[in-house]
Structure 1
Amino acid sequence: MPIRLLTPSEAHARQQAGAYLIDVRAAHERALGMAVGAHGIVREELEADAAQHLRTLDAEVLLICQRGLRSRQVAEFLETHGYRNLSSVEGGTDAWDAAGLPMLRADIDVDFSERYSRHLRLPDVGLEGQKKLEAASVLLVGAGGLGSPAAYYLAAAGIGTLRIADDDVVDRSNLQRQILHTDARIGVPKVESAAIALSALNPRTKVEAVRERITSDNVEHLLEGIDVVVDGADNFPARYLLNDACVKLGKPLVYGAVHRFEGQASVFDAGRHRGEAPCYRCLFPEPPPPEAAPNCAEAGVLGVLPGVIGLLQATEAIKLLLGIGEPLCGRLLQFDALSMKFRETRLTADPQCPVCAPNRAFPGYVDYAAFCAGG
């Protein structure tokens, strides 16, 4: 016979009369709010050993999930195993809440719950993961082509503090790819323009605008209190400096670069994994000559290309902060926009690397401009 469906009000009345209400959702879903008095038993656990949780075959059992589908399916499963007094709550917890019935909620505000609702429903993120993101600090070097999409999605994801370092101002030629900025903000410092855009998107994210070019003198100060570094720089001296500082201080570095129609991304985490993970110098022991690596202003770049690479960088940063998935550590992901193909190259740590080799003392910062110029 069909499973009995109850409205939330009917189910609440039966619960008050002694019926056993079971919330079959996963723990990360229940953390966002559940009916007061409900017993949280994950669907898989209940179906695997119903006798452990249900007293008798005749006990009155009410089942509830998010919207009503899973609870009805569990009820149908239990019925085939001899349970005879089963009901499913129509509309699930959403309808229970909408009906104004008592709810037990986690200690989070409405804005947090609504803004990050899609993250909160992911088992690999959930409430605990979202709070990790809110407590995290990310340094983004460069508020240009790579920094723009990376910053947008890091702020949207709920990164608590986003420190952005850039000493440039918005130019009309930037707008083709640097989507943080607008025509109305031409001439405005990029970090100031970025703060305006990101605060409008997510006022919960604290944007620390640092109008400075990264140098050997300020790099360690910029890295203070930072969990992950995102390299949105457009020049080799900054990349080598960032790499060396991250190795010294044990910070993961999310790398990205673009050139005309091609881009690449990786994660360099040698500071925390000496001898196992490579650093940027393991991949590029020496910079190419300037004529072999012109910048975007000289060589041009497809406007959407930094968007693709910047999004990959934001993805890697979020994964690192949450401790989920497999980061691009030891892998260089290359993208060709014209053929729409990705290619992966395996990277290994250089045992003779002057910066990240095991047991090698930090050699100190060098004159990176001279180093990259071949001086």
Structure 2
Amino acid sequence: MPIQEITPADVAQWLTDGAIFIDVREEHERASGQATGARGVAKADLLASPAHYVPQQDAAVVLICQKGGRSLDAARALEAAGYSRLASVAGGTSRWQEEGRPLVRPELPADAMDFNERYSRHLLLPEVGVEGQRRLERSRVLMIGAGGLGSPAAFYLAAAGVGHLRLADDDVVDRSNLQRQILHTEARIGEPKVASAQATLGALNPRTQVEALQARATAGNVERLLEGVDVVLDGADNFPVRYLLNDACVKLGIPLVYGAVQRFEGQVSVFDAGRHRGELPCYRCLFPEPPPPEFAPNCAEAGVLGVLPGVIGLLQATEVVKLLLGVGDSLAGRLLQFDALSMRFRETRLRHDPDCPVCAAGTPFPGYIDYAAFCRAG
């Protein structure tokens, strides 16, 4: 008998005749409700061991998914495996629900329900799925700076489900920050930025552990700050810290997601030379020497469009998530520049400097230097 596409109304008769009713969606999809009478078995599990779930090949089987496509595919695969009495519910659970037919919610532990509901849109992505989301939950990210770049990046990394965010910043909230540093509020003026960030992010996603360190990155503490992390996000606003982070990340083999903003322009890249010596550039390959201070004023001196750090910080967060999941092409070896006034992006290829004193292949780590003096000399 060929595969039939039946309506939700037809299911009752099939069940009366003894059919086995199977919902082939993933567990996280079924968590929001599945057709009453259906047994939840993910499509991959069903097709991997059909005899376990349907021992008799002449048994009547009704399959349902979200829209009807996966259940029809599963029915065709079962037909190829020798099953003969198969039906797929056209329109799937969506149509079932639209017609007001009863749904049941599977009994799951509270933590599993929270996970499935909170990350439901991630779990639908094949590039993420349950395995990828669990990988994000096991990940640890160091964020230097809880200001303009760190604010949007931290929001989205916490929302995405990064398990551990270590925030390092020695500053306190000032009213002038509020135009762009969206982690903070008027009521928190004078509080440490990391404490303010911890409160905000904890309210957004209690599954993310936020480690607040009121400290400035220095040569003396940088390796402690980087201990155990998978990725570093640079939200610093000064050259000494950028060079310090670069050198430490090269030494320890940790990818560094770089961002910078000024006035109406910003830029972002990924420096992963520590894991790819002699192949990919580091920050020093791009900037062998810092520019003179008069050519590189900070935001307090030159100003910055309030929304600009949001754009760049979100690009940085995107790169962090991609690195943690191991998907897509990172910005390693590329510098992405953004001009907000013209609303244009420009990409520049970056080359590894074979004479770089920090990341050249075979070059021993030269040690940390007086970065403030180095940048003043530049």
TM-score when normalising by structure 2: 0.85
Could you tell me which of 135, 157, 172 is aligned with 1:132?
135
Matches within 5 A, 1:1-375: 3-6=5-8, 10=12, 13=15, 17=18, 19-21=19-21, 23=23, 25=25, 36=39, 38=41, 40-41=43-44, 60-66=60-66, 68-70=67-69, 86-88=87-89, 91-92=92-93, 99-100=103-104, 103=106, 109-374=112-377
Q: Shift of residue 25 of structure 1?
A: 4.8
* Distance apart, 1:36 and its partner CA: 3.1
> Retained in 2: the 8 A contact 1:28–1:120?
yes
* Distance change (3 Å), C-alpha of 1:373 and 1:64: same
- 2-structure distance, mates of 1:187, 1:229: 27
Cα offsets for 1:38-67 (capped at 9, x unmatched): 462599x99xxxxxx9997x863312112x
SS at 2:228 equivalent = coil
Q: Return closer, same or farther for 1:98/1:229 CA change in 2, 3 Å cut-off.
A: farther
Query: Whole-Å Cα distance in 2 between the matches of residues 37 and 195 of structure 1?
Result: 39
Equivalent residue letter for 1:289: P
For residue 222 of structure 1, what is the amino acid of its counterpart?
A: L
- Letter of the 2:69 counterpart: R
From the superposition, tell whether residues 361 and 89 of structure 1 become closer, same or farther in structure 2 (CA, over 3 Å). Answer: same
**1:88-111 per-position Cα deviation (integer Å, ceiling 9, x unaligned):** 17652885996237x596995211
Q: What SS does the aligned partner of 1:369 have?
A: helix
Shift of 1:10: 3.0
Unaligned 5+ segments in structure 2 are 49-53
| Alignment CA distance shift 1:216-1:41 (3 Å) | closer
* Structure 1 residues 215 and 145: CA distance shift in structure 2, 3 A: same
Are the aligned partners of 1:138 and 1:226 in contact in 2 as well (CA < 8 Å)? yes
Q: Secondary structure at the match of 2:206?
A: coil
CA shift in 2, pair 1:87/1:278, >3 Å: closer
How far residue 113 of structure 1 moved from its aligned partner, in angstroms, is: 1.1
Letter in 2 for 1:199: G
Partners of 1:166 and 1:212 within 8 A in 2:
yes
Query: Structure 1 residues 290 and 117, CA, compared in 2 at 3 Å: closer, same or farther?
Result: same
CA contact (8 A) 1:164 1:210 kept: yes
Q: What CA distance in whole angstroms lies between the structure 1 residues aligned with 2:32 and 2:280?
A: 37
Q: 1:327 to 1:71 in 2, by over 3 A?
A: closer
Instruction: Work out the CA distance in 2 between the residues paired with 1:343 and 1:110.
Output: 43
* Residues 63, 89 of structure 1: 8 Å contact kept: no
- Specify the SS of the correspondent of 1:109: helix
Deviations 1:185-235 (A, max 9, x none): 111111111111111111111111100110000000000010100000000
**For residues 200 and 38 of structure 1, do their structure 2 counterparts lie closer, same or farther at Cα, with a shift above 3 Å needed?**
closer
CA distance in 2, matches of 1:347, 1:254: 15
Contact 2:147 2:181 in 1 (8 A): yes
Contact 1:227 1:251 in 2 (8 A): yes
8 Å Cα contact 1:264-1:309 kept in structure 2? yes
Q: TM-score, normalised by structure 1?
A: 0.85
Q: Residue 3 of structure 1 aligns to a residue in which SS?
A: strand
Counterparts of 1:304 and 1:39, CA distance in 2: 43
Aligned CA distance change for structure 1 residues 127 and 288 (closer, same or farther; 3 Å): same
| Pairwise CA RMSD | 3.5
**Residues 164/2 of structure 1: CA separation in 2 closer, same or farther (3 Å cut):** same
* SS of corresponding position for 1:373: helix
Is the CA contact 1:11–1:62 (under 8 Å) kept in the aligned structure 2?
no
Query: By how many angstroms is 1:87 displaced?
Result: 4.2
Alpha-carbon contact 1:7-1:90 (below 8 Å) kept = no
User: Unpaired runs of 5+ in structure 1?
Assistant: 47-52
Give the letter aligned to residue 286 of structure 1: E
Partner of 1:50: none
Quote the Cα distance in structure 2 between the aligned partners of 1:181 and 1:296: 18
Question: By how many angstroms is 1:74 displaced?
Answer: 5.1
Counterpart-to-counterpart distance in 2, 1:147 and 1:12: 56
Figure out how many residues of one structure are paired with residues of the other and give that number. 362
> For the structure 1 residues 40 and 312, does the alpha-carbon distance in structure 2 shift closer, same or farther, using more than 3 Å as the test?
same
